[in-house]
């Protein structure tokens, strides 16, 4: 039986990875480590929380002693590292929180793995990162695994730094590592500070839809369950020391995407066409707002056989249905700490 540590497993992407591994690999013990900040929610895993091969550990990756103790307790065979602060706006307001979690936390995990794994045969440290480390593209071109790093926000700078430390541990200490950089994820269980769940929730409540600048920024959208499948492939079949870019082949201007979302929401909510689009309001652009991200995912397709399973329109439809069917989940996660934070940020705009 392999014992796999998944950090950030109560979060959006992490919960889908935890669920996949629990169900697909009953002979693995899956240890979910999460600090349970505002974006970590064990409600995301109620369907698997009683699985015999699942354990939850509440801990902070910034606490080096706790991490070393967990490695001693479980003797992990592998790490899938998703725990991170991930919201760009929050990184602009509080960059040190992102440096501590994304950089120091990653180094603590690397050090614990290095100390625990005297013999690295069969071991693997898998670090999940973002396409934002590459900076911003013009109208043409795609990010590849060899694109030079050019982070533009405290969030992307912290993730870029953690990527470099993972590679440094590989080259200096022969740590068996793989890294992936993904595009914008969407799907069920995403905390409603990100664009799609935020706007879905605001449309339901007839609240304004604040669009940065002119809404011309372009993003590549990746369905979270497709991302989890890619993580599974990379963990089991990726080559040590390699990086894999994961993209959804779905480039959309923010404003175009929002208008499509509004149209679908009007249909599903039984509203007159154009009702939701009237909620769009334009706000001052985000500081350091990258214009365009787009990923070349040909390497993972050629080497590991991964391709997205859904076209964006189908994934968006499934995502909207999930949020409409799980309004209680939205109400629970938007109460308390998040609600206070969001109100403060919205008032600043």
Q: What is the number of alpha carbons within 13 Å of residue 182 lying toward its C-beta?
A: 23
Give tens-digit pLDDT for 134-150. Answer: 999 988 899 999 999 99
In tens digits, the chain (349 residues) has pLDDT values of: 899 999 999 999 999 999 999 999 999 999 999 999 888 889 999 999 999 999 999 999 999 999 999 999 999 999 999 999 988 888 999 999 999 999 999 999 999 999 999 889 999 999 999 999 999 998 889 999 999 999 999 999 999 999 999 999 999 999 999 999 999 999 999 988 889 999 999 999 999 999 999 999 999 999 999 999 999 999 999 999 999 999 988 889 999 999 999 999 999 999 999 999 999 999 988 877 888 989 999 999 999 999 999 888 899 999 999 999 998 888 888 776 655 655 565 455 4
Nearest-10 Cα torsion for 332, 333, 336, 342: -130
Find, among 183, 166, 163, 184, the residue nearest to 175 by Cα.
166
59-82 pLDDT, tens digit per residue, is 999 999 999 999 999 999 999 999
Is 155 among the catalytic positions? Answer: yes
Domains with residue ranges and CATH for the chain: 3-189+220-251+288-312 (3.40.50.720)
Which candidate in 85, 132, 145, 290 is catalytic?
Answer: 132
The answer to whether 295 and 131 have CB atoms below 8 angstroms apart is yes
Write down the pLDDT at residue 342.
52
Dihedral (CA of 102, 33, 76, 80) sign: negative
Q: Are 255 and 219 in contact (CB under 8 A)?
A: no
- Write b or e for each residue in 245-259: b if 16 or more Cβ atoms lie within 10 A of its Cβ, otherwise e: bbbbbbbbebbebbb
Of the residues 131, 193, 232, 251, which is catalytic? 131
Kindly report the pTM of this predicted structure: 0.93
Catalytic member of 155, 223, 244, 293: 155
């Amino acid at each position: 039986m392999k014992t796999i540590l998944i950090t950030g497993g109560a979060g959006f992407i992490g919960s889908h990875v935890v669920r996949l591994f629990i169900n697909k690999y009953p002979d693995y013990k899956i240890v979910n480590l999460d600090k349970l900040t505002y974006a970590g929610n064990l409600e995301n895993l109620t369907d698997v929380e009683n699985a015999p091969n699942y354990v939850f550990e509440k801990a902070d990756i910034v606490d080096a002693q706790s991490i070393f103790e967990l490695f001693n307790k479980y003797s992990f065979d592998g790490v899938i590292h998703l725990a991170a602060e991930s919201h760009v706006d929050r990184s602009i307001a509080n960059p040190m929180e992102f440096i501590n979690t994304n950089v120091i936390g990653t180094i603590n995990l690397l050090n614990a793995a290095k100390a625990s794994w005297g013999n690295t045969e069969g071991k693997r440290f898998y670090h999940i990162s973002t396409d934002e480390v590459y900076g911003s593209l013009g109208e043409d071109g795609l990010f590849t695994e060899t694109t030079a790093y050019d982070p533009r926000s405290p969030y992307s700078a912290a993730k870029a730094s953690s990527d470099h430390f993972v590679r440094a541990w590989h080259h200096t200490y022969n740590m068996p590592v793989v890294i992936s950089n993904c595009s914008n994820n969407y799907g069920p269980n995403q905390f409603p500070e990100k664009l799609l769940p935020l706007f879905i929730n605001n449309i339901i409540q007839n609240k304004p839809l604040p669009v940065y600048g002119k809404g011309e920024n372009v993003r590549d959208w990746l369905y979270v369950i497709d991302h989890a499948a890619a993580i599974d492939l990379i963990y089991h079949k990726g080559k040590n020391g390699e990086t894999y870019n994961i993209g959804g082949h779905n480039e959309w201007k923010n404003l175009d995407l929002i208008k499509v979302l509004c149209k679908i929401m009007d249909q599903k909510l039984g509203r007159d066409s154009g009702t939701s689009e009237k909620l769009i309001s334009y706000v001052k652009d985000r500081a350091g707002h990258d214009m365009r991200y787009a990923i070349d995912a040909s390497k993972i397709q050629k080497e590991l056989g991964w391709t997205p399973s859904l076209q964006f329109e189908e994934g968006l439809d499934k995502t909207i249905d999930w949020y409409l069917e799980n309004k209680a989940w939205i109400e629970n996660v938007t109460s308390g700490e998040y609600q206070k934070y969001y109100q403060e940020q919205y008032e600043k705009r």
